[in-house]
Structure 1
Amino acid sequence: MIKDSKFLNLIKDVDRSFKGWDFSFISGTGRMSSGLLSWSYGSQAISLIQGTNTMLDMGTGGGEFLSMLRPFPQTVFATEGYKPNIAIAKERLEPMGVTVVPIDEDTKLPFENEQFDLILNQHESYSPKELRRIIKENGSFLTQQVGGLDCVGINEALGVFLNNEFLNWNLKSAKNELEKNSFQVLYSQEEFPFQRFYDVGALVYYLKAIPWQVPGFSVKRFENKLYDIHKIIQEKGFFEVKQHRFMIKAKAL
């Protein structure tokens, strides 16, 4: 039985509440940090919004990011599939004129054919075929994706395999899928910046918020492995893994 009081107090952060898509409890306090990417999704999104009439933000979370992209076009929709986020997104976005639409699956979206000039997608799954149906000819699609090798170091440290369903999700496969569905890729980039956790409490909070990283995660199940990570942090100052990110800007043909 582990009796290290500092470790035991830190892992209690797994019980902290998490709402929307807000990691400020650990990122805003410097307990977790990430390396910089060579691109800015936000800057490219703002540039594309200018002169656009109809826009969709896919997987808006609690609307935190979208709310910072104002001024908006005349018509803006946002989708969200995670039920706890829907009410949060509506409360934040609807006063700004954004229509928030709950969805259940990517392959059947409740929109008309060729409805949008611009579709934004940050870290959300999508169906290229359905995407092409709802975007106008010459419309723009901008996405930043989390690749299948994201934070594999966490899984290795905990002795858990990555989900094979996403293992081959990368820039090459995403570009191929889009091109097969009548998109022209105008810009693409893929990188592996670091992600650091400066205490084990930040790590357990993070894993609770993203349950797909380590399915079935619980502090009790992985206590010994977490304590090993805690000792690494005590010795080195942080626990570092590699993120996997890629971005694509494409035009519908």
Structure 2
Amino acid sequence: MARSFEDLIGEAEAAPVAGWDFSWLDGRATEERPSWGYQRILADRVAGASAALDIQTGGGEVLAGALRTGAGKPAVLAATESWPPNVVKATRLLHPLGVVVVADPDEPPLPFADAAFDLVTSRHPATVWWTEIARVLRPGGTYLAQHVGPASVFELVEFFLGPQPEEVRRGRHPDDESAQARAAGLDVVDLRPQSLRTEFFDIGAVVYFLRKVIWMVPGFTVEAYRDRLRELHERIEREGPFVAHSTRFLIEARKP
């Protein structure tokens, strides 16, 4: 028997959303994974670094996974995070692995000296301060990251907010970010974009996703969007999963 609208959204509203672990969505939503395997690449690069920094580490899950599967770690390894619940979670997860977690507002300047790291990494940073990345990299050092691309999951965004202007849809375009990296003095040596199929199987998955990924529908609450949520619930029951497309790109930029 299908679960009711109120039951599904009530469960999703009560679920904790700290950290960057999406396991609550298992069986309720799916997203294709990029072909390059970011965590595997991260494990290899971190193992070969002498001093590494992970920016906007979230709850530390991706870096922790890379450290646990990798062949080693650098003598100096730090991570930054701005959201207090994530700082707590990342500290608990990463300190036992030898990572120093620094609370940082994700605004310039990074709280580190010039040329402090030979590797800077990030997975899905909300903001990218290219001049700061270039500043803390040593000559010959590398920035390696997986970024969210333009108009990611915009089928869902536009269901709630309506059609978005072209300048909003183009935000985070890999060509633009590559140009910004070069303007900061970095050489872009790898750039790989992909579009990935994403499916939401029930309205609870949608509510949880929008509570967790807060920039998708700014200010999202169930009460503010109850009518649209009910409409989407009925659509999913009638037509099956709601399909959207995530965009991602792998970028590697090197300091000459």
Fold match by TM threshold 0.5: yes
Shift of 1:252: 0.7
Shift of 1:148: 3.4
Shift of 1:161: 5.5
Q: State the match for 2:13 in structure 1.
A: 14
| 1:17-59: CA deviation from partner (whole Å, max 9, x where unpaired) | 2221111111xx2211012322211122122223211000111
Question: Contact 1:106–1:130 at 8 Å: present in 2 too?
Answer: no
| 1:141-177: CA deviation from partner (whole Å, max 9, x where unpaired) | 1011112311111122123465966742210001000
- Count how many residue pairs are aligned between Structure 1 and Structure 2: 248
Residue aligned with 1:141, SS: strand
| 1:111-162: CA deviation from partner (whole Å, max 9, x where unpaired) | 0110001111111122111111100011011011112311111122123465
Aligned-residue identity in percent: 29
Q: State the match for 1:99 in structure 2.
A: 100
1:149 is the counterpart of 2:146: no
CA distance in 2, matches of 1:187, 1:167: 20
1:143 is matched by which residue type in structure 2?
A
Q: State the match for 1:212 in structure 2.
A: 215
Q: State the match for 1:118 in structure 2.
A: 119
Question: Contact 1:52–1:73 at 8 Å: present in 2 too?
Answer: yes
CA distance in 2, matches of 1:146, 1:68: 20
Residue aligned with 1:244, SS: strand
Alignment RMSD, CA only?
Answer: 1.8
1:187-206 matched pairs, under 5 angstroms: 187-206=190-209
Q: Determine which of 243, 246, 250 is the counterpart of 1:243.
A: 246
- What are the ranges of 5 or more consecutive residues in structure 2 without an aligned counterpart? none
1:23 is the counterpart of 2:17: no
1:226 is matched by which residue type in structure 2?
L
| 1:53-79: CA deviation from partner (whole Å, max 9, x where unpaired) | 100011111111111122321110000
CA distance in 1, matches of 2:168, 2:233: 30
Residue aligned with 2:230, SS: helix
Q: State the match for 2:224 in structure 1.
A: 221
Residue aligned with 1:46, SS: helix
1:85 is the counterpart of 2:86: yes
Q: State the match for 2:140 in structure 1.
A: 138
TM-score by length of 2: 0.91
